[in-house]
Structure 1
Amino acid sequence: MTPHIDDEITFRRLEILLAFMETGNLGRAAEMLEISAVSVHRALHGLETGLRCALFRHEGRNLHPTEAAQALAELAREVLRTMAEGVRSTRELAGYSADRIRIGSLYSLTNRTVPKLVMGMKLRKPDLQTELVLGSNADLLRKLRDGAIDAALMGSPDQASDVESEALFEDDIYFAAPMGSRYGGMQQIDLGACANERFVTLSEGFVTYSGFMEAFRVAGFTPNVVMKTGDIFSLMNLVCGGVGCTLLPGRVRSVMPQQIELIPLQARYLMRQTISLSFLKTRERDPTLLALLSFCRTSKADLG
């Protein structure tokens, strides 16, 4: 059974003891720790109370450490050193303020947003190693909660009170059809007139899939989905190959095959994604995440 340590004996009081032993004076110890001399005196008295023995001899207004105080100070140095190392290693295992950061991302953000973010963080923290984990919105939210990633670039999660999100940019959703289709040259697409069209889409859990289904809910019919896929680049290839049409976010335009045409939706079907940097609220004081958040806030114009 672990022996009980009296509540009067705390790490903070051991730190104060070491400061007093180093300076030999209540006032100088207080100055070193940026507290009052009264607080130093109370801490030393609290240690004596917890240990149930005298640590100092009173000579006038001065305190002189006994052999017991010297012995406690020696142990305190070792205890505090061990605990500091334990805190450091525990934080490192949890990803807190370590020399690496695990960032989750949607596939569609790997062309512009992710490289800009990684290079910006390299300039701020040259020794920081970045690990990239790709997945759907649902995958990334689960990995965030499981501690498998430290932060995620994703669609702003709904009903996630445990997650802090910083909006980076908004992205409109477009109708995507193979070049030369009957939709070619149209200024806008009326989804209500596409009930007989074949569609391909991302799997459930992707933020683009959610927008896809919501658009057709507004259109008043269930789309004929002939194939689903697990990443947006495969989805674009399916459209390019004539397997079906789909809905795509505008951010993929720069990496989209030339054989695909993006056409705006009519206003009543307009869908817009909000892309955010998300992390657990329990990690909101992590210095590495704070640096990441600071970069995102000052670089939003370049990340979208």
Structure 2
Amino acid sequence: MKTLRTFFAVMEEGSVNRAAARLGVAQPTLSRQIQALEQEVGGSLFERGTWGVRPTDLGFKLREMMLPVLRAYDQAWAEVAAHAKGRHTQLRVGYLGMAANRFLNPALARLREEYPDIKLWLFDQTPVEQLKALRAGELDVALIGQEGAAVGDDFYRRKVSRIGVCAALPSQHPAAKRESISLEELKHDVFIGVAESSVPGRNAWVASLCAKAGFKARFVAETSEVTETFMRVVGDSAACIVPDYVEGSSPPGITFVKLNDDFATWDFYVLRQRGRGTPAIRRLVELIGEP
């Protein structure tokens, strides 16, 4: 990159002497750098005369191809330097869509007040997608459900909240008009599960809740998307156990009824990569879930 900067300085100044003075190097040193670059590219980059130097066709081509590279290089170094000094200019956050209003949006609003210049990238992703992106270095923060409890020491983890659980029922279900029910009242119902590839451990969690209520859960289908889940609840006259943050979504034909069992709870976690916690990242993790 140093030799390229020398080339651009000579091209802009139209003079080796003026370029040397601008860069603070001796004229012979700069001339040798240009000669080495010409040998590397395989041709003359400048026409030389009493009037100074002018780029050759090859010189213009080198400028055309390498100027974007040099700018990208400088931008990348600036970003790395800002990151090292805690002035990271972007923050990539993965989240569960239905949880954003309760947990993420208030935190982002407060973060913006403290870091007004930060660039936010937000990704509505399943827990599996978030975990993969964290491991690949493509996310800084992930906001997921109790699936976060199973990651061990892979990431820094903080429990945001322990929230209630509700049953998503067809609106014509006998319990749909109730304010709350016990899970045992659904022992004769069938359940819609969630594909392990989208939300790992969700079906096992539902099965464990049903076991605590004294019966074995019977799953008639597995889905990979929330919309499909609610369609199957209606279409199969089934039930689905979900965290209570989904209550505000009110999909057609679905009624959410709270479960009043003490054991029916859902833990919510925020994760971040270890060793990559800039002040803005750490602050967002602190803010998520705060009143």
Shorter-chain TM-score bucket reads 0.5 to 0.7
- The structure 2 residue matched to 1:166, chosen from 158, 163, 177, is 158
Look up the equivalent residue of 1:274 and give its one-letter code: D
How many equivalent residue pairs?
Answer: 213
Query: Is 2:143 the counterpart of 1:153?
Result: yes
- After superposition, what is the alpha-carbon deviation per residue over 1:12-57, rounded to whole angstroms, capped at 9, x for unaligned? xxxxxxxxxxxxxxxxxxxxxxxxxxxxxxxxxxxxxxxxxxxxxx
CA 1:183–1:114: 2 relative to 1, 3 Å:
same
| Contact 1:211 1:271 survives alignment (8 Å) | no
| Contact 1:167 1:277 survives alignment (8 Å) | yes
Structure 2: 5+ residue stretches without partners: 1-73
Cross-structure match for 1:300:
290
Look up the equivalent residue of 1:265 and give its one-letter code: L
Secondary structure of the 2:150 match is: coil
228-237 or 125-134, which deviates more: 228-237
CA 1:234–1:92: 2 relative to 1, 3 Å:
farther
| Contact 1:177 1:261 survives alignment (8 Å) | yes
Query: 1:150 offset after TM fit, Å?
Result: 0.5
CA 1:193–1:133: 2 relative to 1, 3 Å:
same
- The structure 2 residue matched to 1:125, chosen from 109, 115, 127, is 115
Cross-structure match for 1:57:
none
Query: Is 2:271 the counterpart of 1:282?
Result: no
Secondary structure of the 2:275 match is: helix
- The structure 1 residue matched to 2:173, chosen from 181, 186, 189, is 181
- After superposition, what is the alpha-carbon deviation per residue over 1:109-141, rounded to whole angstroms, capped at 9, x for unaligned? 134433323333222222222112233323322
Look up the equivalent residue of 2:160 and give its one-letter code: L
Secondary structure of the 1:282 match is: coil
Query: 1:178 offset after TM fit, Å?
Result: 1.2
| Contact 2:195 2:224 survives alignment (8 Å) | yes
CA 1:127–1:273: 2 relative to 1, 3 Å:
same
Matches within 5 A, 1:221-240: 221-240=215-234
Scaled by the length of structure 1, the TM-score of the pair is 0.59
Query: Is 2:134 the counterpart of 1:140?
Result: no
Q: Distance in 1 between matches of 2:164 and 2:211?
A: 17
Structure 1: 5+ residue stretches without partners: 1-83
Q: Distance in 2 between matches of 1:200 and 1:115?
A: 29
Query: 1:272 offset after TM fit, Å?
Result: 1.4
Matches within 5 A, 1:1-304: 88-90=78-80, 97-155=87-145, 156-186=148-178, 189-192=181-184, 194-204=186-196, 205-206=199-200, 208-219=202-213, 221-241=215-235, 243-257=237-251, 259-265=253-259, 267=261, 270-284=263-277, 286-296=278-288, 300-301=290-291
Secondary structure of the 2:166 match is: strand
Look up the equivalent residue of 1:169 and give its one-letter code: S
Cross-structure match for 1:67:
none
Secondary structure of the 2:120 match is: strand
Q: Distance in 2 between matches of 1:196 and 1:203?
A: 22
CA 1:291–1:187: 2 relative to 1, 3 Å:
closer
CA RMSD of aligned residues (A): 3.2
